[in-house]
A and B are shown apart, each in its own frame.
Chain A
Amino acid sequence: MASEHEQRDPGRVVDASATKELFIEMITRDIALVPSIVDLVDNCADGARRMRGNASYQGLAARLDISASEFRLSDNCGGMSVDLARNVAFRFGRPPNTPPLKHSIGQFGVGMKRAIFKIGKYFRVESTTASSRFVIEQDVVAWAKIPEWEYEFRELEEDGRFNSTQQGTTITITELHDGVAAEFALQDFVPQLKQEIKSRLRDPIARKLAITINAIPVDSEPLTLLASKELAPAYKELRFSATGAKPVTVRLFCGLGRLILEGDKTPATGWSAEIDDVSLPAFHGQYNHLRGYAYFDCDDPGRLPWNTTKTGFNMDSSVYRAARLEMMKMALPVKTFLDRLKEEKSAKAKAGSDEPGPLQSLLLSARPGDIHKIDTRPTFDLPTAKAKKVTGPIMQKIQYDEPLKRVQEVRSALKARSWKEVGEKTFEYFYKAEVGE
């Protein structure tokens, strides 16, 4: 092939290279501003994961400072080596021979660059590891005009020694795009970003990675499921291994949750967002209590089932398809419980009873617990308590309104102690007089 190349007549060559402007436009178009920032913060979480694995991230932090004129994200999560910056981190797309970044969910090699281009026209990346330090600073508009796909280190120090307080990465973006500056100035931008970080980075936050936006801490409540002695959520760990590929571990939790109040719905809580895909019946109100969470982990991020913006699943992923089958299986007993609960409630309503039935009582007495701490079982066991058949005659509830004054008169005449008693005694009186013997 090479010889063919050398012999080519330059007059026959057609230029098909991409302009940088088009490229920048393309990669930034498909992602919204908020997710692109979450991508950046996620890189900090990846750093923390590489440093601490599954241990606590106590002492590690990612700090976001956002104003209408500047965006800055700094962390102390280990930093990026000069080597990585030189050969991998600033390239668009991962070179095929790069070893996978352990536990990272960034696999496409576009996240950081895409976010920078999305936000502004001038950036500075400074990063320090235990042995190296660099600064890259670039005017994006000027860079787009030159043909080379390269940056230059503004400052570079290899073979240094830096202590842990110096280690980390700071990304500063200025000359923000007009639209972005306007968004940053909006009152509700920070809350929106906070919400998104909270739901997408729940796990690192739970491990005590301190994330702040303009000094406001982003805290995350632990994911919970209702638990009691009788109602234990199901837990299953799956491991998908294949020769020549890193194994993927999937941890699945499924059970009952508290009802989500309107306005508090976070789309990324486990598979509730994907529930229709898990082939449960159309999502009726009675299944509002059904809750499941899925964690995917792999040393090779390429095996994880995320789409490139990491906001949803890649439905064709082999791991996702196999995990989805398991999710469906785990959800079925929970669904059955909720079906029975519905039957129990309507039986109670028919009988005019306000008292909770056995299943309802179980649900009411269960307390939400952190999914990593509560007792689980291989399957969600259906409690054996069944809707008790109503004993005695079938009952009918009666309700009616009368002017207060008249009801009070009747109440004192009957010497009744409650409104309920007024109803019962008047009915009794009429029945004795006109119907009964």
Chain B
Amino acid sequence: MNQANQRTTSLGKFRYALRPAKNIERKMLCEAFGCLASLAPLPSYRYIGLGALEFVDFALLHQRIGITDMLSIECRDDAFERIKFNIPYLCIKMKWGTSHEVLPTLDWRKKTIVWLDYDSPLATQILDDVRLVTSSLVSGSMIVITVEARPKEVEGNVNIAHDRLQALIQNVGEDRLPLMKEGDGAVRSLKGSDLAEWGLARVSRQIIDAEIARTLKDRNAPLDTESRISYEQLFNFHYADGAKMLTVGGIILHARDASRIPESTFDMLEFVRRTDDPYLIEAPVLTSRELTYLDNHITARGFKKASWLPQAECEKYKKVYRYHPTFAEVERG
């Protein structure tokens, strides 16, 4: 079993709650999950996440949208006691094993929000998980996948483009490489130079999207048009608290449920992205005092009297202020 492909809780690497972009993303997702209320009462949903020490996503979803049926898949059984100690709510159940081991053993009859939050790059085993989940989710469910999308460092390597392409092929197999569209509509093979900067994130999204599409094609093959299940992408986040990351996901729907949830429900959220065009989450670099100042000067059109502040940072804050975390030091009792 390839350990590198499995999410390993990054114990001690960083405090999850303190990564601002991740923190913002989590709250944005949570807000979008809230829109599912027009399909079914939110507390009737189940949430499946991939562990971690602090259960931040679990706590958020429980507090904000009232989900109580929660399952954490955790492969770090060497930290069994420590992880168990950190479970914030009794309603969170644990399944020990890798996502690859646990996901196929679950009952999928309930509407579910699944967040496959890996911290490794896209690989075959992750795509297997995506396929399994997509083939199992019932209408009204959400699937979200996060993978690392950091291109290999250049470090003076003149063959870097080639090496990046080889690394991707090794991870997902050559048959999964997407074709690239040129500006004039012409189609060509993927090149290593396509993977620089956010290129790997874009390509990873395409590969995940194709896997979902292929799975649904098989799943829907023998079904009538009205019983067919479709996937609508809603999320395409790019962010980097350190390494570049991609989060892609969306809703799984029957035709008859689709009419109950108008597209505008999600499209009112400014971060929803239905296409290849990503939403970049950027946390502004501003002091606490500056953030408080900006909060106090928000108008319908933007911030007032902030000319002495760097405009670029203000703009970033304007986009995310509703989701931006506030960090402060507190005395622990």
Binds B, one of A72-80, A117-125, A221-229, A376-384: A376-384
Given A325-B135, A339-B1, A382-B97, A333:B104 Cβ within 8 A: yes
Per the CB 8 Å criterion, the residue count for chain A at the interface is: 24
Q: Produce 1/0 per residue, B210-225, CB < 8 A to A.
A: 0000010111111110
User: Do A329 and B222 touch across chains, with their CB atoms under 8 A apart?
Assistant: no
Interface size of B by Cβ–Cβ distance < 8 Å? 22
In the complex, whether A187 has a CB less than 8 A from a CB of chain B is: no
Closest B residue by C-beta to A318: B221
CB-based contact B218/A378 at 8 Å: no
Instruction: For chain B, residues 216 to 249, give those with C-beta under 8 angstroms from any C-beta of chain A.
Output: 217-224
Which residue in chain B gives the minimum CB-CB distance to A244? B224
- A240 CA / B104 CA spacing, docked (Å): 21
Question: Is B105 an interface residue when CB atoms closer than 8 A count as contact?
Answer: yes
Contact of A240 among B101, B136, B223 (CB under 8 A): B223
Query: Measured between C-beta atoms, what is the minimum distance from B207 to chain A in Å?
Result: 16
A243 contacts partner chain B, Cβ-Cβ < 8 Å:
yes
Q: Does A211 contact B (CB under 8 A)?
A: no
Interface centre among B100, B105, B215, B219, by most A CB within 10 Å?
Answer: B105
A240 to B224, CA, bound (A): 10
The smallest beta-carbon distance between B254 and chain A, in angstroms, is 15
**Contact A329 B221, CB 8 Å, known A379-B104, A382-B101:** no
A336 within 8 A of B: yes
Of B128, B135, B218, B222, which one neighbours A242 at CB under 8 angstroms? B222
In the complex, chain A residues 225-266 whose Cβ is within 8 Å of any chain B Cβ = 240, 242-243, 248
Identify A325's interface contact among B106, B107, B219, B223, CB under 8 A.
Answer: B219
* A332 to B135 CA separation, bound complex (whole angstroms): 14
| Cβ B221 vs Cβ A242 within 8 A | no
Q: Decide yes or no: A381 and B218 within 8 Å by CB, A240-B223, A329-B132 being known contacts.
A: no
The residue of chain B having its C-beta at the shortest distance from the C-beta of A384 within the complex is B96
* Cβ B101 vs Cβ A319 within 8 A: no
Expressed in whole angstroms, the minimum distance between the Cβ of A336 and any Cβ of chain B is 5
Total A-B pairs in contact (CB under 8 Å)? Answer: 58
- For residue A321, CB closer than 8 A to chain B, the reply is yes
Quick check: B218 and A324 within 8 Å, CB to CB?
yes
The answer, among B1, B136, B217, B220, for a CB contact under 8 Å with A329, is: B136
- In the bound assembly, the distance between CA atoms of A329 and B108 in angstroms comes to 12
A322 within 8 A of B: yes
Instruction: Please state if B222 and A318 are interface contacts (CB–CB under 8 Å).
Output: yes
Select one of A248, A318, A330, A336 contacting B101, CB under 8 A.
A336
Contact between B104 and A329, CB atoms less than 8 A apart: yes
Contact indicator A332/B104 (Cβ below 8 Å)? yes
| Contact across chains for A332 and B219 when beta carbons are under 8 A apart | no
Task: Return chain A residues, CB-CB under 8 Å to B97.
Answer: 336, 382
Contact for A379 among B105, B217, B218, B219, CB less than 8 A: B105
Q: Mark A358-395, 1 if CB is under 8 A from B, else 0.
A: 00000000000000000000111110000000000000
Q: What is the CB-to-nearest-CB distance from A303 to chain B, in angstroms, rounded to a whole number?
A: 8
Q: Are A336 and B222 within 8 A (Cβ)?
A: no
Question: Given that A329-B104, A336-B101 are known contacts, is A322 also in contact with B224, CB under 8 Å in the complex?
Answer: no
Question: Do the beta carbons of B101 and A322 come within 8 Å of each other?
Answer: no
Closest A residue by C-beta to B104:
A332
Residue from A242, A322, A324, A378 within 8 A of B107 (CB atoms): A378
**A135, chain B: closest CB distance, angstroms:** 42
User: Which has the most chain B C-beta neighbours within 10 Å: A279, A322, A324?
Assistant: A322
In the assembled complex, which residues on chain A have CB atoms less than 8 Å from the CB atom of B132? Answer: 328-329, 332
Chain A residues with CB under 8 A of B217:
321
Question: In the complex, A381 Cα to B220 Cα: how many Å?
Answer: 27
Contact with A along B83-104 (1 / 0, CB 8 A): 0000000000000010011001
Could you tell me which residues of chain A, from 290 to 327, have a CB within 8 Å of some CB in chain B?
A: 318-319, 321-322, 324-326
Q: List, in ascending order, chain A residues with CB within 8 A of B221's CB.
A: 318-319, 321-322
A333's partner among B101, B128, B135 (CB-CB below 8 A) is B101
A379 — which chain B residues lie within 8 A by C-beta?
104-106
**B-side contacts of A240, CB under 8 Å:** 222-223
Would A242 and B105 be within 8 Å (CB), given that A329-B135, A339-B1 are in contact?
Answer: no
Contact B223 A242 (CB under 8 A): yes
Instruction: Note all chain A residues with C-beta closer than 8 A to B220.
Output: 322
Chain B residues numbered 276-312 whose CB sits less than 8 Å from any CB in chain A: none
**Complex formed: what's the CA distance from A279 to B100 in Å?**
14
Q: What residues of A have a CB within 8 angstroms of the CB of B222 in the complex?
A: 240, 242, 248, 318-319, 321-322
A322 adjacent to B219 (CB under 8 Å): yes
Chain A residue, CB-CB nearest to B132: A329
Whole-angstrom distance from the CB of B217 to the nearest CB of chain A? 8
The listed residue with most A CB atoms (<10 A of its CB), out of B1, B97, B104, B222, is: B222
Complex A-B: 7 CB contacts under 8 Å: A242-B224, A279-B128, A319-B221, A321-B217, A325-B219, A333-B104, A379-B106
Known: A321-B217, A333-B104. 12 other contacts (CB 8 A): A242-B224, A318-B221, A322-B223, A325-B131, A325-B215, A328-B131, A328-B132, A329-B135, A329-B136, A332-B100, A333-B101, A333-B105
Closest 9 CB pairs of A and B: A318-B221, A332-B104, A240-B222, A321-B218, A318-B222, A336-B101, A321-B221, A325-B135, A319-B222
